[in-house]
C-alpha cells in the first residue's frame, strides 16, 4: 500500500510546496537527522575525511544522501523529521551546508521536514544575526550545536549571543553529548576533543537560558547519568536517544524512560548513520513500556516542537 504522504513536495524547487505535517498520518518524529551534503555544492573534502571515519565506525554506507532522497525515505515510512547541518567551520575547517538551503528545502517539503539550523558559537553576535534572520524570515524551528566538532565549551560566553536569540523565541536547541563517531579512529581523533561532549557542561546554559528547550543528543556515554540527572532537575532539558541502537542502551535509560522521564525522552536516529526504521524496530524489543513508547516516538516531540 502506498504511503499517504508519497508524492508530495519531492522536488528541490520544481514542485508546488507541500502541506504542513498532518499528525494523524505520521507514526513518529525523528528529531535528529543530518543534511550532510548540499544539493548544489560538492562534498567538502575536509568533511569527507570525517565522513570516512564515521562510516567505518557505524558500519554505515559511505555515500551521503541528498535532501530529496532523505525526504523520500521518511515520507515512505510516514515519519516526520528535524533536519540540520553541523556548522564546524572554525573547529575543523569544513565548509557547512547552508542553513538557508535547508530552510528552503524544508519549506517545500513541510509535510515531513522541520528545519533546524546550526551556527558555530565562535560566530558570536554575527551568528546571532543569522539566527534571528533564519527564525523571523525563513521558518527555522530549532538549532543544533556540536561543541566537540566546534571545539568550544558549551558555556563559552562568545556563544551566548546566539543562545539569547533562541531563548527569546523559546525554541529548542540540540546539544551533542557523549562520545562522537566524528573523528573516531583518525589520527589524534581528527583534532576533536571529547571533553566538550560532557553533558554537565551544558548545565550552566540551561540555568542561564531557561526558555530555551535544551535537547541533550544521544545517550551521552560515558556520562549517561549526567544527562538523566539534568533532565530530572531542569524543566527545560530533554534527551534524544539518537546515535545508538536501543539494543545497546544502558539499563538506566530504559528505567527512567519508563518512569520519571517518560515525557522527556525523544526518538532520534542520527540518520544517515542509523536508519529510522532500524532504530524503531530495536526500540520495540528493549523493554520500553507499551504506554511509554508512543510518547518517545511522537507525542513528546509534538509538544516540544509546538506542532499541536
Write the burial class of residue 266 (CB in 10 Å: 0-12 exposed, 13-18 middle, 19+ buried): buried
39 is in which domain, residue-wise? 28-304
**What's the pLDDT score for residue 19?**
59
Residue 122 lies in a domain: yes
**What's the pLDDT score for residue 73?**
97
pLDDT tens for 83-140 read 999 999 999 999 999 999 999 999 999 999 999 999 999 999 999 999 999 999 999 9
Residue 23 lies in a domain: no
Cβ of 26: how many Cβ atoms within 10 Å?
23
Q: What is the DSSP string of 251-297?
A: HHHHHHHTTTTTTTEE----BTSS-HHHHHHHHTTTT--TTTHHIII
CA distances for 15 relative to 9, 33, 75, 101, 146, angstroms: 6, 23, 16, 16, 33
Residue 239 lies in a domain: yes
Tell me, yes or no, if the pTM score tops 0.85. yes
The contacts of residue 222 (CB under 8 Å, 6+ apart) are: 178, 179
Residue 19 lies in a domain: no
Residue 10 lies in a domain: no
pLDDT tens for 167-184 read 999 999 999 999 988 878
Mean pLDDT estimate for the chain: 92
Q: CA 134 to CA 151: how far, in whole Å?
A: 24
Residue 172 lies in a domain: yes
Residue 7 lies in a domain: no
Residue 62 lies in a domain: yes
Instruction: Say which CATH number the domain at 249 has.
Output: 3.20.20.140
Task: Look up residue 200 and give its DSSP letter.
Answer: G
Q: How confident is the model at residue 9 (pLDDT cuts 50, 70, 90)?
A: very low
All three cell numbers of 281: 524496530
Domain count for the chain, please give it: 1
Amino acid at each position: 500500500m502506498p504511503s499517504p504522504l508519497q508524492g508530495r513536495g519531492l522536488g528541490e524547487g520544481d514542485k508546488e510546496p507541500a502541506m504542513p505535517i498532518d499528525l494523524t498520518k505520521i507514526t513518529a518524529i525523528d528529531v535528529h537527522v543530518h543534511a550532510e551534503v548540499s544539493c548544489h555544492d560538492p562534498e567538502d573534502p575536509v568533511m569527507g575525511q570525517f565522513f570516512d571515519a564515521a562510516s567505518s565506525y557505524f558500519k554505515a554506507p559511505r555515500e551521503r544522501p541528498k535532501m530529496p532522497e532523505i525526504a523520500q525515505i521518511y515520507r515512505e515510512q510516514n515519519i516526520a523529521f528535524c533536519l540540520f547541518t553541523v556548522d564546524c567551520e572554525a573547529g575543523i575547517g569544513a565548509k557547512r551546508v547552508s542553513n538557508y538551503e535547508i530552510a528552503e528545502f524544508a519549506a517545500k517539503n513541510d509535510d515531513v521536514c522541520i528545519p533546524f539550523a546550526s551556527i558555530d558559537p565562535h560566530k558570536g553576535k554575527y551568528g546571532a544575526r543569522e539566527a534571528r534572520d533564519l527564525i523571523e524570515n525563513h521558518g527555522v524551528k530549532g538549532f543544533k550545536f556540536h561543541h566537540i566538532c566546534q571545539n568550544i565549551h558549551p558555556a563559552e560566553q562568545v556563544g551566548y549571543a546566539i543562545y539569547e536569540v533562541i531563548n527569546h523565541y523559546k525554541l529548542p536547541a540540540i546539544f551533542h553529548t557523549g562520545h562522537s563517531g566524528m573523528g573516531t579512529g583518525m589520527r589524534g581523533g581528527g583534532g576533536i576533543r571529547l571533553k566538550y561532549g560532557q553533558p554537565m557542561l551544558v548545565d550552566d546554559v540551561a540555568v542561564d537560558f531557561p526558555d530555551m528547550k535544551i535537547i541533550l543528543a544521544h545517550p551521552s556515554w560515558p556520562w549517561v547519568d549526567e544527562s538523566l540527572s539534568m533532565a530530572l532537575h531542569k524543566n527545560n532539558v530533554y534527551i534524544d536517544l539518537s546515535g545508538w541502537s536501543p539494543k545497546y542502551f544502558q539499563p538506566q535509560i530504559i528505567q527512567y524512560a519508563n518512569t520519571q522521564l517518560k515525557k522527556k525522552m525523544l526518538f532520534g536516529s542520527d540518520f544517515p548513520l542509523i536508519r529510522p526504521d532500524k532504530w524503531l524496530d530495536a526500540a520495540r524489543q528493549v523493554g520500553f513500556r507499551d504506554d511509554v513508547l508512543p510518547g518517545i516516538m511522537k507525542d513528546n516531540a509534538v509538544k516540544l516542537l509546538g506542532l499541536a
